[in-house]
Structure 1
Amino acid sequence: MSRFEPIAIVGEGCVLPGAPSPDALWDIVAQKRIVTQRVSPARLGLADRGAANPAWVSGLVEEDPDKEDQALDPVCRWPLRAVRDAWRSVATDHIAPARRAVILANLLYPSRAKAAYAADIWRDGRTDRPLTDTLNSAYPARLIAEAIGATGPVLALDAACASSLYALEIACCKLAAASMPPTI
C-alpha cells in the first residue's frame, strides 16, 4: 500500500438549494431538514410564457451579482459563485496564475439555457440567444479559471454520479505529485 501525503482544504464554497454556504449546508444536514421542492409547470416550460420562471437555486441570495454573471445560465453561475466564495476566503495573491488549476465535476444534463436555445431552433429555425448557452460542459470551468486568474490546467469532467469523486481523486493525485497546487 502506498502512502498518500495529506492535503489541506483551505477554502470552501457552496451553492445548493437552501444552502448558499457550507455552514448553511451543515445546518440542513444536522437538522435533518428536507429542502427539496416540487417542480412547477412554469419551470418545465409548460405554463404560459408570461409566467415567472426564476433562474436561481431556491434559497440562494446573490448579494450583488455582476450583470455579466446574471446573464449566465445557472450551470455556470452557481459553481462560479461557490468558487469565488472559496477563493476569497484564503490568501491567494502570492500564487502565480500558472500554478492555479481548476478541476470541475459537472454533470452535463441539458441546462435551462441549452434547452431554451434548442427550443428556439426547433420551433423557429433560429435563435437570438448567445452561443454560450449551448456550452455547459467545459465553459463553466473556463469561467472559473478566468475568475481566479488561473492559467494552469483546467478540466471539466462528467462521470455521472461519481463526477465529484473523480474530480477529488484527480485533484488529490495532482496535489500529492506537486504538479498542480493549488486546485479549485
Structure 2
Amino acid sequence: MEFEPIAIVGRGCVLPDALDPDTFWDNIAAGRTSLSAAPDGDRWRLPRRLAMGTVGDHLDRTWTDAGGYVRGFESVFDPGGFRIAPERILSLDPLFHWVMYGVRQALTEAGREGPLPRAGLVLGNLSYPTPTGAVYAEHVWLSAQQPALRDALLTGERRRRPDARNRFSSGLPARLAARALGLGAGAWSLDAACASSLYAVKLACDRLHDGTADLMVAGAVSRADPLYLHVGFCGLSATSRTGRSRPFHRDADGLVHGEGAGFVALMRLSDARAAGLPVLGVIRGVGLSNDGRGAGLISP
C-alpha cells in the first residue's frame, strides 16, 4: 500500500548554541562544536570535586563533565501568549518550557495558530528524572527526616517544595503543550530511547494518513538531571573517555550527553500545497530501530 507523502511545513528547536532552527543550521554548516563543560551554578547541585572521578575510579562519580548544554533560553522564553497562566508555566521544569516554545516555533513557521481542533502532538521524551523532579524527590525525603537533619538541610530556597506537577515529566509535557497551544486532536509522549524522535515522526504521519488529524507536530525533548546521566552512563561504561561522540566510527569509545528539543510541523503534501505553504522537506518513509544486534545495551 502506498501512502501519501508528508510535508514538513514548520520547525522549532531549543538546542545548545541554537534556540531556533536557522541558527542550528548555521552551526552545522560552519562545523561548530557545541560541547562544553557543565555550566557553573547549580546544574549538578553538589560541589564538582565530589562528583568528578577518573576512568579507573568512578564509583558513584563521573570521569567527565563534557556535554551539550542549553544556555540563554530564559532570555527568549515568554510564558505569555499561551492558554495557561504564566505563573502556572514558570513553576514547571524548563523541560516543559522547551516543549511549549519549540512546538510554538514550528506552528508559527507553518502559519498556524490555535485553537487548532484538527492538530495534535507526538512527543518523544526520555523518561529520566529532571533537575526539578530530583529536587522535588529530595524535598519529600528530607521532609520526612528527624527535625534536626531536616532543618539543617532544608534551608533558604530549599525550604520551598517545587510544584508537584514536576513529578510527571514523562507524559505531562505533551498534554500541557497541547492545551497551552490549543491542539485539539490529542497529544501523548513515548519513550523509545535513542529512537524516540523517529517513532514520534512515524506515529504523527500515521495520524495524517488515517485522517484523524490534518496537522501534527512531532519531535522529542531531553532535559534529564545531567549528573544522573553522567554518573549512570559512566557506570555502564557508555560515556566517551575522549569526550567525542562518533557513532559507527572505528575509534568510537562511547557517547557524549546532550540536552535540547526539536520539532517539525507535518501535513499531508497535497494539503500543504493547496494551502500554499512552503514545503521544507518531504517524508516518504520512516526507518525505526533501537539498540543493535550485539549483546551490548548501547551497541549500534
Q: What's the TM-score once normalised by structure 2's chain length?
A: 0.54
Please list every run of 5 or more consecutive structure 2 residues that lacks an aligned counterpart in the other structure: 49-68, 80-85, 146-159, 218-300
CA contact (8 A) 2:178 2:187 kept: yes
Please report how far the alpha carbon of residue 128 of structure 1 lies from its aligned counterpart in structure 2 after TM superposition: 2.6
2:16 partner SS: coil
Instruction: Read off the aligned partner of 1:179 and give its amino acid letter.
Output: T
Select the structure that is richer in strand.
Answer: 2
CA separation in 2, counterparts of 1:148 and 1:43? 29
Please report how far the alpha carbon of residue 33 of structure 1 lies from its aligned counterpart in structure 2 after TM superposition: 1.1
Please report how far the alpha carbon of residue 79 of structure 1 lies from its aligned counterpart in structure 2 after TM superposition: 1.2
Instruction: Read off the aligned partner of 2:112 and give its amino acid letter.
Output: T
CA contact (8 A) 2:185 2:212 kept: no
The residue aligned with 1:8 is 7
Whether 1:131 and 2:164 are equivalent positions in the alignment is yes
The residue aligned with 1:78 is 98
Whether 1:60 and 2:73 are equivalent positions in the alignment is yes
Please report how far the alpha carbon of residue 76 of structure 1 lies from its aligned counterpart in structure 2 after TM superposition: 0.6
**Aligned equivalent of 2:196, options 149, 155, 163:** 163
Please report how far the alpha carbon of residue 96 of structure 1 lies from its aligned counterpart in structure 2 after TM superposition: 6.5
Please report how far the alpha carbon of residue 3 of structure 1 lies from its aligned counterpart in structure 2 after TM superposition: 2.0
1:5 partner SS: coil
The residue aligned with 1:106 is 125
CA contact (8 A) 1:84 1:147 kept: no
CA separation in 2, counterparts of 1:38 and 1:4? 45
CA separation in 2, counterparts of 1:105 and 1:139? 12
CA separation in 1, counterparts of 2:214 and 2:190? 19
CA separation in 2, counterparts of 1:59 and 1:32? 21
Instruction: Read off the aligned partner of 1:159 and give its amino acid letter.
Output: A
Assess, with a 3 A threshold, how the Cα gap between structure 1 residues 129 and 59 changes in structure 2: closer, same or farther: closer
Please report how far the alpha carbon of residue 72 of structure 1 lies from its aligned counterpart in structure 2 after TM superposition: 2.0
1:161 partner SS: helix
CA separation in 2, counterparts of 1:109 and 1:131? 16
The residue aligned with 2:23 is 24
Instruction: Read off the aligned partner of 1:63 and give its amino acid letter.
Output: V
* Aligned sequence identity (%): 37
1:166 partner SS: helix
Please identify the structure whose Cα radius of gyration is greater: 2
The residue aligned with 1:36 is 35
Q: What's the TM-score once normalised by structure 1's chain length?
A: 0.84
**Aligned equivalent of 1:116, options 129, 135, 141:** 135
Please report how far the alpha carbon of residue 38 of structure 1 lies from its aligned counterpart in structure 2 after TM superposition: 1.3
Please report how far the alpha carbon of residue 18 of structure 1 lies from its aligned counterpart in structure 2 after TM superposition: 0.7
CA RMSD across the alignment: 2.3
Please list every run of 5 or more consecutive structure 1 residues that lacks an aligned counterpart in the other structure: 49-55
CA separation in 2, counterparts of 1:64 and 1:58? 12
1:183 partner SS: strand
**Aligned equivalent of 1:140, options 165, 168, 173:** 173
Count of residues in Structure 1 that have an aligned counterpart in Structure 2: 175
2:7 partner SS: coil
